[in-house]
Chain A
Amino acid sequence: MAYRVVVDFDLCESNARCMEAAPEVFEVRDDDYLYVLDETPPEELRPKVEEAVRRCPKAAISLVEE
């Protein structure tokens, strides 16, 4: 089942905890903004993306099953 990564940018503080967990999907660039590189990551990245969800101190990331 596919899933979509949704970030609430009002909550996000660009601290890049998600990037450390899943650099394939999340990138905080030098402009200090977070970019979602892949909104529908492949299934094999799910454990890393879930780890990013858990490590986000702002609970800004959610996964929507599609």
Chain B
Amino acid sequence: MTGAGGAGPAVVVVGASLAGLRAVEELRHRGFDGPITVVGAERHLPYDRPPLSKQLLAGEWGVDRIALTVTTPGGLDGLDVDWRLGTRAVGLDVGGRRVALEGGDELRYDGLVIATGAAPRRLPGTDGLAGVHTLRTLDDALAIRADLDAGPRRVVVIGAGFVGAEVAATCRGRGHEVTLLEALPVPLERALGAEMGNVVAELHRDHGVDLRLGVGVAGFEGDGRVERVRLADGSAVPADLVVVGIGVSPATDWLAGSGLALDDGVVCDATTWVAPGVVAAGDVARWPSRRLGELVRVEHWDNAVAMGAHAARRLLAEPPFAGGDGGEVEPYDPVPWFWSDQYDRKVQLAGWSAGADEVAVVDGSTEDRRFVALYRRGDRLVGALSMNRPRPLVTYRRLIEEGAGWEEAMAQAASA
């Protein structure tokens, strides 16, 4: 057994990516100088995922451009972390404060940060079929890129969520033929709602994507390598390369049997606390949002950054790191924010679009694809979307933060 060499409390972070790294950075910034071990299933040091579907896939950036950095003096080395990369955690003993690693090793901890993110959902019948990819990791992105580099490809993207839409845009930019298949009647419906999803649909059609909505995928054909995607209506789409982007599931498999509450993620309290000595952050974590009055899980870059740091502060507020019970740590209750780049359009959403009763364009126009739209739920402003019009979003995001009413938002729009 390895871990704290008796030198005071030890921290283990499982997940060597964005949320995990920001947690470590915050621990050091707050003066924690005990041992920190970071366990990561991938063999890479922490890197940034958003470029995987954008500049990296386009071939504009190399791998060296996406390394994550820290503001800690001395950079990553200055964090003084024991990296256990290419190693998967396979079990957790909450009472005994031990993490089991594949290969039989165990790490003892006083504080544990769960930051294992999410893993892409797969479609049945794709195992062992070359040319069918998912996109979550650097290795995934490099495999897709190598496949695209091999020559002109007929690309079929399954699922018009953000990753699928970005892959479609990037592949068009590289000059490949692209078919984008989506089971729902509108792309990005879950993230943006039907009205704004339609704006994105037109964007893709104008760029020559064969966008097919409301279609189900029945299976794949090909001899060793994919040749066709069979659709539920009996037709087939020729394919040299398929990217499946049908969403992700929180990576909690290793926590089965730990006794932690697992329900579409690791369930935390409002301060990111999970169990004595255990906190969680990023795509894997689900917590009660006071703002929304329900459990939420957020799969955005900005959330992983902020929640990782918050979880670190939460950990330091309880024994053996501090005397208190952590009760003084504020709840984690942000207004979520994300961006997406497709072609030359920059999309940003602050807040929530789901369950909105109304969407109103308050700046610019959807025809010009330069606009801001606001989402109303009941009498409140709950979300704001911008496309190539960033500045007003700052104002509306603040209004959402303050819990502003719809009338106030409309008055703001009228005065701008």
Partner of B390, one of A13, A53, A55: A13
CA distance A30 to B395 in the complex (A): 11
Q: Mark B38-59, 1 if CB is under 8 A from A, else 0.
A: 0000000000101000000000
Contact call B71/A19, Cβ cutoff below 8 A = no
Q: Decide if A28 touches B71 in the complex (CB within 8 Å).
A: no
0/1 string, B376-414, CB within 8 A of A gives 1: 000000000000011101100100000000000000000
The reply on A16 being an interface residue by CB < 8 A is yes
**Interface size class for chain A?**
10 to 19
Nearest chain B CB to A18's CB is how many angstroms away?
11
Give the chain A neighbours of B98 by CB distance below 8 A: none
Check A54–B391 contact: CB distance below 8 A: no
Q: Are B71 and A15 in contact (CB under 8 A)?
A: no
Establish whether residues B391 and A28, one from each chain, have CB atoms under 8 Å apart when the complex forms: yes
A16 contacts B390, C-beta separation under 8 Å: yes
Chain B residues, CB < 8 A from A30: 391
Question: Do residues A59 and B302 form an inter-chain contact, with CB atoms below 8 A?
Answer: no
Chain B interface size, as a band, is 20 to 34
- Report the bound CA distance from A1 to B149 in whole Å: 47
Cβ distance A13 to chain B, nearest Cβ, rounded Å: 5
Judging by beta carbons under 8 Å apart, are A54 and B22 in contact? Answer: yes
**Complex Cα gap A15–B346 (Å):** 9
Determine if B50 and A57 form an interchain contact, defined as CB atoms under 8 angstroms apart: yes
- With a CB–CB cut-off of 8 A, which chain B residues contact A14? 390-391
Is residue B32 within 8 Å, beta carbon to beta carbon, of the partner chain? no
Partner of A54, one of B305, B337, B346, B394: B305
Q: Which of A19, A28, A59 gathers the greatest number of chain B CB atoms within 10 Å?
A: A59
Query: Across the interface, do A57 and B302 meet the contact criterion of CB distance under 8 Å?
Result: yes
Q: How far is the CA of A56 from the CA of B300 in the complex (A)?
A: 13
Q: B339 an interface residue at 8 Å Cβ cutoff?
A: yes
On A, residues with C-beta under 8 Å from B are 13-17, 19-20, 28-32, 50, 53-55, 57, 59, 63
Q: List 16 A-B contacts (CB under 8 A).
A: A14-B390, A15-B339, A15-B346, A16-B391, A16-B393, A19-B394, A20-B394, A28-B394, A30-B391, A32-B389, A32-B390, A50-B71, A54-B25, A55-B305, A55-B306, A57-B339
What are the 9 closest A-B residue pairs judged by CB atoms, nearest first? A50-B71, A14-B390, A16-B394, A15-B390, A32-B391, A28-B391, A30-B391, A13-B346, A53-B71
